[in-house]
């Protein structure tokens, strides 16, 4: 039986770059950073004082004061991204199709703000003052639940939490749900709101974060010899995925196809990746095989590219293992150079940027790359400035703590199934 084809018909995004898809794309394509000093909390005793905050977003204006108070930022961000995606898609949920539409929105760390605020309340005022809504606000599946309730989606509704691979796993598994006929459309993506003092301190003590406080906007330096760690960020992105015939029947605009998906595990270390990149490479191979695409057909690769020494080296090794000599002619970039690392939401925002890259025929740059880490990181990382290109097949990598690897392959849509 021929597998069902899955297409993207709607996009939504909110990040430190901006609060809509077009602003995110414009800034990423032009190498404009969204990273700056933290404003939400006291930074005087922190060694790391900057990151990628969502700014100028008032949830009370969007959801109303009462509803906004009942959502952790993970749900606020996800709901806004879903609202944009549904508006963009024009998908209508009715009594006749509500069991055919679902939501799979992942989250890496859950409602950290709600947890911390209620712990502070409990310590200061006692357990009687803890909010009865604390648990339903902080659980990682709250965003997919809120989205399902708001739009009346009675199809599959769930959450995936695979650290920094969450977004790609969510999109990939939602694709598989549609492929096997369990839904005709899915809202898929991920959200994260972990820019908090606790997480900053923990990642910093792990020596995972950049401490370039004197120059926040160039602190995230993927594949650069001077990289010194990743930059924490927050936000969400959601795609509307549909079975091709369903999208055609309602005359939907089709951005691209989800051509392939791969998932593997390093089974090695809770935080460090395999330096050889062996499992990451196998994940890329699985995604290509699932798509029926040869490595030489890939037009552009959006790298996980975190700006940490081990990740960037391991990913480069993995790319070389999969693409061989073709690796040296493959444009690769890390948009984390301007977004920072949105943890569980990272690969969802990168999916949006990959899809816009296909649509616009333009490769966003690794904006902060000035001094490639030679000889180890010696590929074409599109340094500094983006470039025009005809993009038929785009690959997006994401690799998370715990050894989770997830790769998505996007393909320009055509009626015969080929780019």
Q: How far apart are CA 185 and CA 200, in angstroms?
A: 37
Active site residue 377: no
CA distance readout (Å), 282 to 289, 407, 419: 10, 10, 24
Q: Which residue among 16, 107, 283, 341 is the active-site one?
A: 341
> Per the residue annotation, which of 16, 159, 164, 377 is the catalytic one?
164
Within a 10 A sphere around the Cβ of 290, how many other Cβ atoms?
Answer: 21
DSSP code at position 130: S
Per DSSP (E only), the strands in 227-372 are 235-243, 256-265, 300-302, 332-333, 362-363
Asked about 246 being catalytic, the answer comes back as no
In this structure, what DSSP letter does residue 215 have? -
Beta strand 393-400 with 387-388 is: unpaired
**Nearest one of 2, 10, 6, 13 to 233, comparing CA atoms:** 13
Running DSSP on this structure, what letter comes out for residue 366?
Answer: B
Q: Give the CA radius of gyration of the chain.
A: 20
Cβ-in-10-Å burial (0-12, 13-18, 19+) of 266 comes to buried
Catalytic residue among 16, 283, 304, 404: 304
CA distance 253 to 248: 9
Q: Is 36 helix (H, G, I), strand (E, B) or coil?
A: strand
Q: Return the HEC string of 305-348.
A: CCCCHHHHHHHHHHHHHHHHHHHHHCCEECCHHHHCECHHHHHH
The most distant pair of C-alpha atoms in the chain lies apart, rounded to whole Å, by 64
CA proximity to 342, closest of 61, 106, 29, 39: 106
Residue 345: alpha-carbon gap to chain centroid? 4
**CA–CA dist 193, 76 (Å, integer):** 9
Question: Residue 249 burial (CB < 10 Å; 0-12/13-18/19+)?
Answer: exposed
- Is residue 289 among the annotated active site residues? no
Alpha-carbon distances, residue 372 vs 215, 218, 272, 362 (angstroms): 19, 14, 22, 22
Catalytic amino acids? 164, 304, 341
């Amino acid at each position: 039986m021929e597998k069902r084809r899955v297409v993207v018909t709607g996009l939504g995004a909110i990040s430190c770059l901006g609060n809509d898809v077009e602003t995110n794309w414009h800034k990423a394509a032009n190498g404009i950073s969204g990273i700056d000093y933290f404003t939400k909390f006291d930074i005087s005793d922190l060694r790391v004082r900057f990151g990628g905050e969502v700014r100028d977003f008032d949830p009370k204006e969007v959801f109303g004061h009462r509803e906004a108070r009942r959502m952790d930022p993970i749900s606020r961000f996800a709901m806004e991204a879903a609202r944009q995606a549904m508006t963009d898609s024009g998908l209508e949920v009715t009594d006749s199709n509500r069991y055919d539409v679902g939501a799979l929105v992942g989250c890496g760390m859950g409602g950290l703000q709600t947890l911390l605020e209620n712990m502070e309340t409990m310590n200061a005022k006692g357990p009687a003052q803890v909010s009865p809504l604390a648990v339903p606000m902080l659980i990682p599946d709250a965003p997919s639940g809120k989205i399902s309730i708001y739009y009346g989606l009675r199809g599959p509704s769930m959450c995936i939490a695979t650290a920094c691979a969450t977004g790609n796993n969510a999109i990939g598994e939602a694709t598989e749900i549609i492929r096997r006929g369990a839904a005709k459309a899915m809202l898929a993506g991920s959200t994260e709101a972990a820019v908090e003092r606790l997480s900053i301190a923990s990642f910093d003590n792990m020596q995972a974060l950049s401490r370039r406080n004197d120059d926040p906007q160039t602190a995230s330096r993927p594949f650069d010899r001077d990289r010194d760690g990743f930059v924490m960020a927050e936000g969400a992105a959601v795609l509307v995925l549909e079975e091709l015939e369903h999208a055609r029947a309602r005359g939907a605009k089709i951005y691209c196809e989800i051509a392939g998906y791969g998932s593997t595990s390093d089974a090695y270390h809770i935080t460090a990746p395999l330096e050889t990149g062996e499992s990451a490479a196998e994940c890329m191979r699985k995604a290509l095989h699932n798509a029926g695409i040869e490595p030489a057909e890939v037009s552009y690769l959006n790298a996980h590219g975190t700006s940490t020494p081990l990740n960037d080296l391991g990913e480069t090794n993995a790319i070389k293992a999969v693409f061989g000599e073709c690796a040296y002619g493959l444009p690769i970039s890390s948009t984390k150079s301007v977004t920072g690392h949105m943890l569980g939401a990272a690969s969802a925002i990168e999916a949006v940027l990959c899809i816009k890259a296909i649509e616009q025929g333009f490769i966003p740059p690794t904006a902060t790359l000035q001094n490639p880490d030679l000889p180890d990181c010696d590929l074409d990382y599109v340094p500094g400035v983006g470039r025009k290109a005809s993009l038929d097949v785009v690959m997006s990598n994401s690799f998370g703590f715990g050894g989770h690897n997830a790769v998505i392959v996007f393909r320009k849509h055509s009626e015969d199934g080929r780019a």
